[in-house]
Structure 1
Amino acid sequence: MAVPTAGLRGAAAAPGALPLPAVSRGELTRAPWAAASGPALTGRPVEAEVPHARPRLPPLATEDFTSHRFVPPAKRIQSPEQLKQFLRSEAARDFVSFILALNEAVKGKQLSDVCPESEAVHKLVGVLDTLWRWVDETPPAAHTLRYGNPAYRTWFAKMAEAAPQLMGGVLPESLQPAAEELGGYFADSFGNATRIDYGTGHETTFAALLYCLAKLGVVGQGDAQALVTRVFRRYLQLMRKIQTTYWLEPAGSHGVWGLDDYQFLPFIWGSAQLVDHPFIKPSSILSHEVLESYASEYLYLGCVQFVKQVKKGPLQETSPMLVDISGIPMWSKVNSGMVKMYQAEVLAKFPIMQHFLFGSLIQWAPERLAAPHPSSAAPAPAAAHAPTASPAAAPAPAGQPAAAAPAAAGQAAAQAQQPSEGQ
């Protein structure tokens, strides 16, 4: 099937060649799926770029959280206009700045590279290991359809019920009251139990969970690399296991018009890993030998390899956008384009962001407009609760289901009633 080029501003492609994604040229994409998930659903376009976002982790927490009022997170974006307000807000600026800070931390880094690993990082990985074990303990049910195995609901209910307790195992004693708020983000990071689907909105919620931990000071500047190469990598492995065990529907899938049916952030941080690589180029994704040799070290290559494993047919047919991007000469250009695309196609899409959660750590305060960070060039100090390196730290104890279902499970159930395009 030929890729239509009409409507792409300035699209210039050789005969028979696929055009490069518009966002890599600094434009909003005009691909057919963008029209369906953009103004056609939101009623009006929204700005794609969050103002004043710069690579920056939250500064050292100065608030005395012992008297802080934590709240179960809830949805607040109810209209395209409210989404537009959020994208201009201080909360959006700080969240995107956090994603950019992790992006900077992994530039030129392999997944296996030694880096500081605090006790909190080890505990987070331990929690994800617990969920991995629960998948093994909850085999898929006999089912005739490819997607949506109902055994996922059993796994999800166990995870959602235990979410506050699992998060409590990551927090120091002084921050235990935050467990319920963090549990809401945690439970929403692994898909939707009613629709049995998963997408980039759930992935974004997991990034929001990491951001909340940084705001609390549980993780700090010294953990930035490990949050990607240890924690997020394990999250990605877990989600692939969940997807291929229960075959979750892709939430709001773009099909061949998207990077991937489920993930986006590994394409951002994975392209950062490859910046200035001496011999792996964007075009190297077309090499079977490169993928086989280096997919375990670079998130981007791992994503391409996974796409080839789960989709039938050549990459040019199943994922033409990835092939398009392989024609960009430098990883730095791919990386900057991915950041723009993430803001345009995830953060600026109402069907996704109507499910984004706000609590006391990510506050719904659209009237607080983004301004330049007071010291955006200076690195944030390490957090008080995060030791810079403790490789021998014990993993988190396996969480046991709580006696009563917490607010996190209720929140997950409420989300299930939202439109299926959401995440």
Structure 2
Amino acid sequence: MENCQQHHHHHLQNQDTSSASPPITGTCCKCGGPTTFPPPPPGPAFSEISPPPTYRPIRAPAVPPDPDSKRAIVLAPVPQSQKVPVAQPPYTFQSPAKRIHSPDDIRRFHESDSGKNFIGFVVALSESIRGHKISDPCPESHTLTAIVSILETLTQWVDEIPPVQQSARYGNIAYRTWHQKMSDSAESLMLRFLPENLKSVTIEIVPYFTDSFGNSSRIDYGTGHETNFAAWLYCLARLGLISEEDYQAVISRVFVKYLELMRKLQLVYCLEPAGSHGVWGLDDYHFLPFIFGSSQLIDHRYMKPKSIHNQDILENFSNEYLYLGCIAFVKKVKKGLFAEHSPMLDDISVVPNWNKVNSGLLKMYKAEVLEKVPIMQHFLFGSLIKWITGCPSLCLEG
């Protein structure tokens, strides 16, 4: 799809496409047919000083958030942290498979013990980094040190596999070479930290790992892939390889290194955003670092949500606070006024405190990522994240 699509979207939606009654509220940029969404509210026109963001294509017209959906998120309860139950032998590891195909499947997943425990794990990770800078000392287990080393290896491979010369500006095919090398090596990389009695688990955890770095055929990456990385870490917690004492380092060492790798992949190979909401989304690629980053800043004496507009703060503290790092990266890759290319992040900056930002983002992650069929249809279920056919609850035992 052409880069200019987003620029023309507002114009197309307001064209008088038909004299039929009732009037059409909007026009699809792809097929020209009527849409069920009203045009976005009128705003300041793009100017020469602030041109439309043309740094990468989007797959579909950016759709304004549904007011009813937004209201539902506000009224939803804040997800609560949960302890991860450690699976006990005898193990029955299996190749994980996709199980979610409909909104009913989504509902069953979220009503299940396993669904609640997974989001509870994300909340527990968020709580573990509360009030801590990235550089703060914390316990680092052998497993986490090995995982950081694995991510450093994958980062090094990006340097060894440079982008190729091609006419298409986005989706450099050299990424497929990198992805293939990562996939081929994934099992041996897992064996760097798996104890002897758990080596057979590779059949189950390798698919979560290989799905964490984007899709090689589409050459894209999004929050679904990021969720796979969280699911891979969750599986390691289910195996007892990651304990609650490790959670702070899971964020400040492992996740930070993962984010560093993903940004490098995005920039070097020009990955397209998978399922991006365009200008109406939180971010083209990531969600979790905003959750973890807002937790870091809860009760900070000086930095408030509005501090993201202070360039000095971004330059001095983006290496210590994930949220500020995310804002700095967005400003690096997107040109123009922040309020135009990232209206949702701009809106969040007026929230009075980081506690409200954090709880709101947790609710939004559940609603906008974990409850969306187009994202969760790719989620995998095996013996560690178990799906039981015909049962409203997913078993966590064994």
Which bin holds the TM-score, normalised by the shorter protein? 0.7 to 0.9
Which residue, out of 86, 92, 97, partners 2:109? Answer: 86
Change (3 A) 1:290 1:152: same
- CA contact under 8 A between 2:87 and 2:238: conserved in structure 1? no
Query: Which whole-Å deviations, capped at 9, do the CAs of 1:199-221 have from their partners, x for residues lacking one?
Result: 00000000000000000000101
Which residue is equivalent to 2:393?
369
One-letter amino acid matched to 1:82: D
1:57 and 2:83 correspond: yes
- CA contact under 8 A between 1:139 and 1:151: conserved in structure 2? yes
In 1, the alpha carbon distance for the partners of 2:87 and 2:99 equals 27
SS at match of 1:230: helix
In 2, the alpha carbon distance for the partners of 1:178 and 1:50 equals 36
- CA contact under 8 A between 1:49 and 1:340: conserved in structure 2? no
* Structure 1 residue ranges without an equivalent (≥5): 7-14, 17-30, 39-45, 374-423
Which residue is equivalent to 1:200?
223
Change (3 A) 1:49 1:124: farther
* Structure 2 residue ranges without an equivalent (≥5): 1-6, 11-24, 26-42, 45-61
- CA contact under 8 A between 1:91 and 1:365: conserved in structure 2? no
Which residue is equivalent to 1:9?
none
1:288 and 2:322 correspond: no
Normalised by the size of structure 1, how large is the TM-score?
A: 0.75
One-letter amino acid matched to 2:273: P
In 2, the alpha carbon distance for the partners of 1:359 and 1:48 equals 33
1:102-181 alignment, distance < 5 Å: 102-181=125-204
SS at match of 2:336: coil
Which residue is equivalent to 2:21?
none
Q: What is the aligned residue count?
A: 337
How far the C-alpha of 1:145 sits from its partner, in A, is 2.2
How far the C-alpha of 1:368 sits from its partner, in A, is 4.5
- Identity percentage over the alignment? 53
Normalised by the size of structure 2, how large is the TM-score?
A: 0.80
- CA contact under 8 A between 2:79 and 2:362: conserved in structure 1? no
Which residue is equivalent to 1:32?
63
1:98 and 2:129 correspond: no
SS at match of 2:306: helix
Which residue is equivalent to 1:392?
none
Rg larger in 1 or in 2?
2
What's the Cα RMSD here? 2.7
- CA contact under 8 A between 2:148 and 2:257: conserved in structure 1? yes
- CA contact under 8 A between 2:339 and 2:346: conserved in structure 1? yes
Change (3 A) 1:267 1:325: same
In 2, the alpha carbon distance for the partners of 1:193 and 1:78 equals 22
Query: Which whole-Å deviations, capped at 9, do the CAs of 1:193-251 have from their partners, x for residues lacking one?
Result: 00000000000000000000000000101101000110001000000000000010000
Which residue is equivalent to 1:242?
265
Which residue, out of 278, 296, 309, partners 1:273? Answer: 296
In 1, the alpha carbon distance for the partners of 2:199 and 2:363 equals 36
How far the C-alpha of 1:74 sits from its partner, in A, is 1.4
One-letter amino acid matched to 1:295: S
In 1, the alpha carbon distance for the partners of 2:162 and 2:250 equals 29
SS at match of 2:387: coil
- CA contact under 8 A between 1:214 and 1:220: conserved in structure 2? yes
Structure 1 runs, 4 residues or longer, greater than 4 Å off: 33-36, 46-53
One-letter amino acid matched to 1:63: Q
Which residue is equivalent to 2:354?
331
In 1, the alpha carbon distance for the partners of 2:140 and 2:388 equals 33
